[in-house]
Amino acid sequence: MLPQLSLDNQLCFRLYTASRLITQAYHPFLSEIGLTYPQYLVMMVLWERDAQPVNDIAKRLYLETNTVTPLLKRMEAEGFVTRGRSDADARQVIVSLTEKGHALERQAATVPVCLGSAVSCQSITPETLPNLFATLDDLIATLSSGESK
């Protein structure tokens, strides 16, 4: 076997596995407040700045609008957000938090702390997180800009 094809030598496998397991770790905390992980990401974007175009939400999450739109439709049906046309550009759909969506922010405030406890390990501590974030941000920037091609 060629060593470059060993699963143990693959960065992609480690990132995929870590992402999947972290999403699983979020599940019990998010289910208590009635959100899925993708919905939680959208809500965080809107809690940072309410009333945003769908395109801006998708861009912030590194997703395509056709991925975000069905998610937003479900969130609207659940009463977390509303979708409406922009006054400035009728082609643009603006997503805004409802009262229920704003109230959810207070409930969600404990999720990061709960998750932090759930995923703490020797190499990831409050002191090492800034370096890990910087490394992952650099990787994301490189991959999203097409530099890796």
For 97-117, write each residue's pLDDT tens digit. 999 999 999 999 999 888 877
Q: How confident is the model at residue 129 (pLDDT cuts 50, 70, 90)?
A: confident
In a domain, 87, yes or no: yes
The encoded tokens of residue 19 equal: 């992402």
The sign of the CA dihedral 30, 105, 131, 135 is positive
For 51-88, write each residue's pLDDT tens digit. 999 999 999 999 999 999 999 999 999 999 999 987 77
Coil, strand or helix at 107: helix
**What pLDDT, on the 0 to 100 scale, is given for residue 77?**
97
In a domain, 113, yes or no: no
In a domain, 51, yes or no: yes
In a domain, 25, yes or no: no
In a domain, 74, yes or no: yes
Boundaries of domain holding 76: 36-104
Give CA–CA dist 149/134, Å, rounded. Answer: 21
**What pLDDT, on the 0 to 100 scale, is given for residue 78?**
97
CATH of the domain at 87: 1.10.10.10
Q: How confident is the model at residue 123 (pLDDT cuts 50, 70, 90)?
A: confident
Give CA–CA dist 18/20, Å, rounded. Answer: 6
Give CA–CA dist 74/81, Å, rounded. Answer: 9
- Going by C-alpha positions, the residue among 114, 103, 64, 59 that lies closest to residue 80 is 103
In a domain, 71, yes or no: yes
In a domain, 69, yes or no: yes
In a domain, 120, yes or no: no
Q: Per the structure, how many domains does the chain have?
A: 1
